[in-house]
Structure formats: structure tokens, C-alpha cells
């Protein structure tokens, strides 16, 4: 995957009204390179790019980028938040319960909210949060091998 030149990344920050700093640039690039990474994963990447950066500075940068809409924060229940730069479409995620791998899945409908509530209770609904939980192909294959071995 080719990295976008930093000046494009800087322009993107400015377009969203975010002041350009080396740390924010590095965080945005790291999210782009590693979609669905946790803040901790991103901190590791950013440190390898620009050297010392505190964990708090990474969290702050992620917070600002997410608040301004440059990145999306996905908060699966019971696990740390993940970040991605695929914003502006209503896609969903598949998460493996065994290994935690997360992948994108296009929304079958496209626009939000893609599910109709049985009863909207008068709320003006603008989003349905959809996460598909299950097991990834690798984990399914692994458990199949395990049970075949056990059967012998
Ligand atoms: Zn898995
Ligand atoms: Zn995604
Ligand atoms: Zn959908």
C-alpha cells in the first residue's frame, strides 16, 4: 500500500479545521495504514515514525480527529476502541470473537439509518449501529482441525 504524501494529509487536516502538527499528521497516517487498530497499536506505529510521543498525546490526537470527522471510532463492547479513516459511508464491521480480527463489510442498504426500529418512540433516528459478531474463517478452520483431531 503506498502512503499518501504528507502534504495531502496536512491538507486534509486543514479541510476539517484541525491545526496541523507533526503528531496529528503521524497519527492520521498510522490510522490510514492500519485500519481498525487500537490506540495502543497506533501509538507503536507513531513512535516508530516520529520518536517519543506520550500515550496521552496519541489519545488526544485520536480524539480530535474523531470529533472532527476525519476518522471514525468503533467501540465494540468489551474491547478497546478501534480507529479507521474510512468515513463518510455507512459500512459495518465483522468481528471475530476468538481472535478479535475486525473487517469492513459494506452496508446492504447504504444510507443511515439502515435498519428501521420496530418503534421509533418519537426519536429522530439518524444511525443504527451494526456490528456482526462471529468467528473469522481462520478461527473456524482451526477449530475444525482441532475437533477432527479430537475425533480420531
Ligand atoms: Zn478469528
Ligand atoms: Zn471499517
Ligand atoms: Zn447497514
Fold of 6-74: Arc Repressor Mutant, subunit A (1.10.10)
Q: Where in the chain is the domain with CATH 1.10.10.10?
A: 6-74
pLDDT tens string 84-112? 999 989 999 999 999 999 999 999 998 89
pTM of the model: 0.87
**β-strand pairing of 82-84 with 72-74:** antiparallel
Instruction: Please give the Cα distance from 86 to 58 (Å, whole number).
Output: 19
Q: Which CATH class is domain 89-151?
A: alpha beta
Ligand 3 midpoint to CA 124 (Å): 17
Neighbours of 4 (CB within 10 A): 14
Ligand 2 midpoint to CA 35 (Å): 7
| 72 close to 86: Cβ distance less than 8 angstroms | yes
Ligand 1 midpoint to CA 57 (Å): 31
Task: Give the ligand whose atoms come closest to the C-alpha of residue 137.
Answer: 1
Closest CA to 94 of 137, 127, 62: 137
Ligand 2 midpoint to CA 147 (Å): 32
Q: Where in the chain is the domain with CATH 3.30.1490?
A: 89-151
pLDDT tens string 106-150? 999 988 999 999 999 999 999 999 999 999 999 999 999 988 888
Amino acid at each position: 500500500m503506498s502512503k499518501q504524501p504528507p502534504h495531502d494529509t496536512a491538507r486534509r487536516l486543514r479541510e476539517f479545521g484541525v491545526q496541523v502538527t507533526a503528531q496529528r499528521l503521524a497519527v492520521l497516517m498510522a490510522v490510514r495504514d492500519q485500519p481498525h487498530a487500537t490506540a495502543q497499536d497506533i501509538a507503536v506505529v507513531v513512535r516508530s515514525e516520529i520518536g517519543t510521543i506520550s500515550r496521552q498525546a496519541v489519545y488526544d490526537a485520536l480524539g480530535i480527529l474523531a470529533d472532527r470527522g476525519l476518522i471514525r471510532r468503533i467501540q465494540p463492547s468489551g474491547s478497546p476502541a478501534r480507529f479507521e479513516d474510512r468515513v463518510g459511508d455507512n459500512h459495518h464491521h465483522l468481528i471475530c470473537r476468538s481472535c478479535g480480527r475486525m473487517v469492513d463489510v459494506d452496508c446492504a442498504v447504504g444510507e443511515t439509518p439502515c435498519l428501521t426500529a420496530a418503534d421509533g418512540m418519537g426519536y429522530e433516528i439518524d444511525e443504527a449501529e451494526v456490528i456482526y459478531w462471529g468467528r473469522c474463517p481462520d478461527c473456524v478452520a482451526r477449530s475444525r482441525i482441532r475437533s477432527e483431531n479430537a475425533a480420531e
